[in-house]
Every structure is written in C-alpha cells, then in structure tokens.
C-alpha cells in the first residue's frame, strides 16, 4: 500500500493569502530588461569638415600659359573646398572611369607670402575671367614646382594644365592634374637643358642615360693604358671631353665626327650616325664657350682596351609650353 494517502477530492484547502511583492522585487519584463537605445546620427556623406572654406573667387589678370601635361599629379585638401568644387561641377556626380571624370582647366598659383608655407602652390579651377580655389599641391611637390611657377608669374603669365574632378553625390569631390614632372617644367621654362645634367665654370656634363661605343680606340692604346683597370672584370670610370674632328677615310670621309678625349688627348671618335644624334648639343655647348663632357667607362678586354660613353637618351626632346 502506498505510504502516502491522498486527500479526498471533496476536501479542498483554502487558498492562501498572497502577499503583494514590493515593486523593487518584481521581475522586469523582457522589454524592461533592455537598456534604453541611444541613436547617434553620423555626418551625412559629403559633409564638409570643420574649417571648410566657402568658395573663394579670384579675378584672372594674367595671360594663361598651358604647362607640359604628360603626367598625373594629385591635389590635396579638396575636402575643405567642397563648396567650390560643387559650384564648378554644378552639383554633378562623376563616374568611376577616367572618361567619366569631369574635365576642367586648373591654374597653379604659387603663394610665396603664405604664412604656413612659403613654397605653397594653390590650385584653382579656371572659370572664364575668374578662378576658384579647390586645393593645394602637397608640400613635397610644391617645393619642386614653386621656383619655376614664380618665374612664369614674374613674366606676366599664370601656369595652367588640364585637370579632372572625381566624386560627388554621397562622396567627397576630388581633383587631380595632368602635369609633367618638375624637370620637364624647368626644361620648357629654359631653366634646364634636357641633355645637360650640370653646367658650371665653363664645363657642361651630359646626362648619362645610354651607352655609346667609341671607335678607333685601337689606335690610342698607349693613352688608354694609363686609365685601364688591371682586372679584366673591372671597369674604370673617367670623364671624357667631346670635340669635333674630320673623318679621314671610308664612306663618310670629309664629314664631321665627335672626337673623344681624355685630359686633352684623343682616344677615339663616335660613328657618323652617333655624331648626327649628338652634334647639336655638343655644338650648342661649344658655341657658348663651354666644354662638353660626359662620363666614360674603360675596360680591358681580349680585343684591347675599349671605351663606352654614357650619353643622353634623347638630346633633342624638349617639352614645350602649348
């Protein structure tokens, strides 16, 4: 027999009185357990940062000079000039490909009186007879371009180049320039010759970008012996001077050739074809009373002591202003 008896069904225990729970002890509902949600809205896309400037226009009082435009140069600080870029594009949105970028004409304005950087270069977009500021060249690039842009400015002109605007819509506007490297600008401005690396005290040193063989060196082994390395694996670097001589025999007899000398003594000459390539620059240097020189490499071979010159790759290529 089961040891515990059940109460008869007819007998019902009286309900116990329920003591109300203090409110602090009442279990919270699932919704009440969750901490309150704090919604913080970020800045919408294309919102200008603190310190952003309104569009600043400047009248164009100088003639415009298009600079060599064979490279691609970034512009910095565009986020502070979104109003100006929005004005230039009339709020249009650029696509993602090069052809979809919005073409403009950019002006490069040197700022020698800029309190933050004396070599700063401001970038404006040209709009008819005025321009609007849209950014700057980076500090490093500005130092390379600034001096030549100042020269252009002092000549009564302002340098310009093609530019393209990117972004728009939910993205910041940006801009980049089609501008050649600083050396091309110096060459176009007449500050530097494309073939001359350095010129000082009546001596011009040519750029050494490609090798050219010196012919007839076999006739001048006695001179070359003084400069040749003892080891056939080695090379001796020297500075050679360039002059002109007359070809004494062969197909081009009577024609001019470039003569190569070491410390005033002949060691050979360049072929007629190579002479045609470099005759112009050598003659130009001689005409202004200087001596044309280049680096030369001497090596000892089974065929005797041979010489190679290091010469400019393209002496006649001169970037120009359009």
Q: For 222-232, what is each residue's pLDDT tens digit?
A: 999 999 888 87
Say if strands 63-66 and 210-213 run parallel, antiparallel, or are unpaired. unpaired
Q: Higher model confidence: residue 4 or residue 301? A: 301
What average pLDDT score do residues 88-117 get? 93
Query: Tens digits of per-residue pLDDT, 211-252?
Result: 999 999 999 999 999 998 888 778 999 999 999 999 999 999
> d(Cα 65, Cα 288) in Å, to the nearest integer?
29
Assess whether pLDDT exceeds 50 at residue 167.
yes
Q: Say which range, 14-18, 148-152, 280-284, has the weakest mean pLDDT.
A: 14-18
Assess whether pLDDT exceeds 70 at residue 104.
yes
> d(Cα 80, Cα 36) in Å, to the nearest integer?
37
Q: Higher model confidence: residue 46 or residue 314? A: 314
Say if strands 304-311 and 291-301 run parallel, antiparallel, or are unpaired. antiparallel
Indicate the pLDDT class of residue 129, thresholds 50, 70 and 90: very high
Residue entry with tokens 């001077």 = 241
**Predicted model pTM:** 0.63
Query: Tens digits of per-residue pLDDT, 270-283?
Result: 999 999 999 999 99
What average pLDDT score do residues 306-319 get? 86
> d(Cα 92, Cα 168) in Å, to the nearest integer?
7
Please report the pLDDT score of residue 233 as a whole number: 78
Alpha helices (H) in the chain, listed in sequence order:
30-33, 82-89, 139-154, 182-188, 221-224, 272-287
Assess whether pLDDT exceeds 50 at residue 11.
no
């Amino acid at each position: 027999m089961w040891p515990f008896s059940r109460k008869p069904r007819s007998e019902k225990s009286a309900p116990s009185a329920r003591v109300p729970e203090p409110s602090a002890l009442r279990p919270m509902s699932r919704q009440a357990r969750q901490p309150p949600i704090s919604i913080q809205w970020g800045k919408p896309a294309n919102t200008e940062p603190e310190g952003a400037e309104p569009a600043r226009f400047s009248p164009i009082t100088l003639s415009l000079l298009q600079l060599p435009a064979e490279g691609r140069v970034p512009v910095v600080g565009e986020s502070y000039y979104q109003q100006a870029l929005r004005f230039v594009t009339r709020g249009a949105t650029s696509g993602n490909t090069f052809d979809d970028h919005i073409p403009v004409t950019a002006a490069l304005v040197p700022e020698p009186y800029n309190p933050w950087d004396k070599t700063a270069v401001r970038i404006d977009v040209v709009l008819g007879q005025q321009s609007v500021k849209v950014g700057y060249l980076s500090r490093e690039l500005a130092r390379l371009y600034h001096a030549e842009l100042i020269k252009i400015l002092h000549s009564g002109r302002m340098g310009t180049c093609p530019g393209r605007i990117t972004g728009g819509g939910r993205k910041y506007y940006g801009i980049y320039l089609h501008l050649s490297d600083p050396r091309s600008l110096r060459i176009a401005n007449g500050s530097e010759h494309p073939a001359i690396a350095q010129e000082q005290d009546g001596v011009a040193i040519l750029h050494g970008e490609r090798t050219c063989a010196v012919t007839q060196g076999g006739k001048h082994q006695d001179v070359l012996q003084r400069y040749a390395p003892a080891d056939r694996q080695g090379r001796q670097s020297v500075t050679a001077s360039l002059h002109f001589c007359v070809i004494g025999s062969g197909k081009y007899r009577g024609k001019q050739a470039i003569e190569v000398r070491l410390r005033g003594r002949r060691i050979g000459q360049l072929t007629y074809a190579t002479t045609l390539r470099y005759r112009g620059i050598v003659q130009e240097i001689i005409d202004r009373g200087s001596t044309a020189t280049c680096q030369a490499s001497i090596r000892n071979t089974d065929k005797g002591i041979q010489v190679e010159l290091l010469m400019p790759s393209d002496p006649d290529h001169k970037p120009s202003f359009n």
